[in-house]
């Protein structure tokens, strides 16, 4: 009887230790209490947090939004001083107008040159007709001279008239060639002026882009983070101004590789959110990572050493959240969640 009383405290201590260990195993869902679901607290809400930066240099003149404000796509977030950009645009537009005026003047020059060419060609045709007439008269007089019908002076006058007609045709042909070259030169100038217009149009487009960069707008609907810029501050290209978080969020759960085979793409799952007093949400698995989380680390996980301790790796799983759930609008990137997924048969 005394021996029994002596061993009772020891038995109670052992029993309490076993119960404590069992309680821990049950609380952490470890074997043999892992049950019929995959559970991990290594899971977080994720979203597309976009850092908006300045694309040009200038002084901040207006910040019409505040920290954590809800904004719509296209809404102005930050305004930079745009006076120099507006002047640059005006100058580029003036140069474009000048280039277009030069092209219009050149078009008129082409028309004038073509009219001159037509006039010179008509003069050449008239000179050719006069030469033909003079040539026929010269031939006729020479034949009459052989018969002694006309005097020598008449023949000499015919010779002189023929040479003058030939000279007139030569001059008319030369003038036609000059007019033709003037037309060609004016048309070549058109290509140069068109190139100048294209260059001026590109300069205007660049000036407009630079002017647009003086206004930083929300690229999508969402909520802002903390504003990192103030009125009067001078910023340069690349200066971070504010972060934007679109409403679209999802869950990334890092599941142990030993439980990976118990999950399927499209599988229905649930998760609870720590920040919302463990409120439950529903979703489904959409994608599995092509590699474990350790493979994405900056420092490679080399095991080519003499000492090796096997550690269960984790595989990121993407979970889409079902829409229109109560409290879904309160989910924010970075929140910790606990995943609950029924085990699937292999």
- What is the full DSSP assignment across 261-286? GG--TT-EEEEEEGGGTTEEEEEEEE
The answer to whether residues 298 and 236 belong to one domain is: no
Residue 2, pLDDT above cutoff 60: no
Assign 334 to helix, strand or coil. coil
Residue 343, pLDDT above cutoff 60: yes
Residue 4, pLDDT above cutoff 50: no
Residue 127, pLDDT above cutoff 60: yes
- Give a yes or no: residue 19 inside a domain: no
pLDDT at site 5: 54
More confident residue, 167 or 221: 221
CATH of the domain at 240: 2.40.50.100
**What does the alpha-carbon distance between residue 341 and residue 320 come to, in Å, rounded to a whole number?**
13
Q: Please report which confidence band the pLDDT of residue 151 belongs to, taking 50, 70 and 90 as the band edges.
A: low
* pLDDT (mean) for 93-112: 88
The closest alpha carbon to 91, from 214, 193, 206, belongs to 206
Radius of gyration of the chain (CA): 46
Q: Please report which confidence band the pLDDT of residue 298 belongs to, taking 50, 70 and 90 as the band edges.
A: low
The answer to whether residues 202 and 181 belong to one domain is: yes
**Do 83 and 262 meet the contact criterion of CB atoms below 8 Å apart?**
no
CATH of the domain at 323: 2.40.30.170
CATH of the domain at 92: 1.10.287
E-assigned strand segments in the chain = 37-47, 50-53, 58-62, 70-71, 76-80, 215-217, 222-224, 234-235, 240-245, 249-256, 268-273, 279-288, 314-321, 336-342
The answer to whether residues 69 and 139 belong to one domain is: no
The answer to whether residues 88 and 201 belong to one domain is: yes
Q: Output the CA–CA distances (angstroms, integers) from residue 7 to 3, 15, 20, 21, 37, in the order listed.
A: 6, 12, 20, 21, 40
Residue 141, pLDDT above cutoff 70: no
The answer to whether residues 202 and 90 belong to one domain is: yes
- Give a yes or no: residue 2 inside a domain: no
For residue range 67-99, list pLDDT tens digits in order: 999 999 999 999 999 999 999 999 999 999 999
Q: How do 76-80 and 37-47 pair as beta strands?
A: unpaired
More confident residue, 326 or 160: 326
Sole residue written with tokens 């009459």: 144
- Give a yes or no: residue 12 inside a domain: no
- Residue 207 phi, psi (nearest 5): -65, -40
- Give a yes or no: residue 113 inside a domain: yes
The answer to whether residues 182 and 96 belong to one domain is: yes
Please tell me the total count of domains within the chain. 3
pLDDT at site 19: 73
pLDDT at site 177: 78
The answer to whether residues 276 and 231 belong to one domain is: no
The closest alpha carbon to 270, from 251, 287, 256, 283, belongs to 283
The answer to whether residues 170 and 135 belong to one domain is: yes
Residue 307, pLDDT above cutoff 70: no
Residue 325, pLDDT above cutoff 60: yes
The closest alpha carbon to 145, from 127, 162, 159, belongs to 159
Residue 107, pLDDT above cutoff 90: no
Q: Which of 108-122, 126-140, 142-156 has the highest mean pLDDT?
A: 108-122
The answer to whether residues 281 and 324 belong to one domain is: yes
Task: Provide the token pair at 217.
Answer: 């707008």
pLDDT at site 83: 92
The answer to whether residues 196 and 207 belong to one domain is: yes
Q: Please report which confidence band the pLDDT of residue 129 belongs to, taking 50, 70 and 90 as the band edges.
A: confident
**Do 229 and 63 meet the contact criterion of CB atoms below 8 Å apart?**
yes
**Do 340 and 272 meet the contact criterion of CB atoms below 8 Å apart?**
yes
More confident residue, 1 or 270: 270
- What whole-number percentage of the chain has pLDDT above 90? 45
The answer to whether residues 117 and 194 belong to one domain is: yes
Exposure string over 100-115, b if 16+ CB within 10 A, otherwise e: eeebeebeebbeebbe
Mean residue pLDDT of the chain comes to 83
pLDDT at site 30: 57
- Give a yes or no: residue 208 inside a domain: yes
What lies within 8 Å, CB to CB, of 68 at 6+ separation is 223, 224, 225, 226
- Give a yes or no: residue 30 inside a domain: no
The answer to whether residues 179 and 263 belong to one domain is: no
- Give a yes or no: residue 26 inside a domain: no
Residue 192, pLDDT above cutoff 90: no
- Comparing 104-108, 213-217, 231-235, 323-327, the range with the smallest average pLDDT is 104-108
Q: Please report which confidence band the pLDDT of residue 59 belongs to, taking 50, 70 and 90 as the band edges.
A: very high
Domain that holds residue 76: 53-81+214-244
Residue 53, pLDDT above cutoff 80: yes
């Amino acid at each position: 009887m005394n021996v029994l009383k002596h061993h009772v405290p020891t038995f109670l201590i052992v029993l309490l230790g076993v119960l404590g260990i069992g309680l821990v195993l049950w609380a952490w869902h470890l074997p043999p209490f892992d049950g019929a679901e995959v559970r991990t607290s290594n899971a977080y809400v994720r979203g597309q947090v976009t850092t908006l930066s300045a694309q040009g240099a200038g002084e901040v003149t207006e910040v019409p939004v505040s920290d954590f404000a809800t904004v719509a796509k296209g809404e102005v977030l930050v305004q930079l001083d745009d006076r120099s950009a507006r002047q640059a645009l005006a100058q580029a537009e003036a140069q474009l107008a000048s280039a277009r005026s030069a092209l219009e003047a050149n078009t008129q020059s082409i028309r004038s040159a073509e009219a001159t060419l037509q006039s010179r060609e008509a003069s050449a045709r008239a000179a050719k007709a006069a030469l033909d007439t003079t040539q026929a008269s010269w031939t006729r007089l020479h034949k009459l001279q052989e018969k002694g019908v006309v005097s020598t002076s008449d023949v000499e006058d015919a010779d002189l008239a023929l040479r003058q007609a030939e000279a007139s045709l030569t001059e008319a042909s030369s003038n036609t060639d000059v007019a033709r070259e003037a037309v060609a030169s004016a048309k070549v100038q058109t290509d140069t002026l068109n190139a100048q217009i294209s260059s001026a149009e590109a300069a205007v487009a660049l000036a407009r882009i630079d002017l647009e960069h003086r206004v930083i707008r929300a690229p999508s609907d969402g909520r802002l983070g903390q504003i990192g810029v103030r009125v009067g501050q001078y910023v340069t290209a690349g200066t971070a101004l504010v972060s934007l978080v679109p409403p679209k969020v999802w869950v990334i759960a890092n599941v142990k590789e030993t439980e990976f085979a118990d999950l399927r793409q499209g599988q229905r799952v649930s998760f609870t959110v720590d920040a919302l007093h463990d409120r439950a949400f529903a979703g489904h698995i959409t994608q599995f990572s092509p590699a474990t989380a350790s493979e994405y680390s900056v420092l490679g996980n080399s095991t080519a050493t003499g000492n090796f301790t096997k550690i269960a790796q984790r595989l990121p799983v993407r979970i889409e959240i079902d829409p229109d759930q109560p409290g879904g609008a309160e989910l924010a990137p970075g929140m910790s969640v606990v995943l609950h997924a029924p085990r699937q048969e292999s």
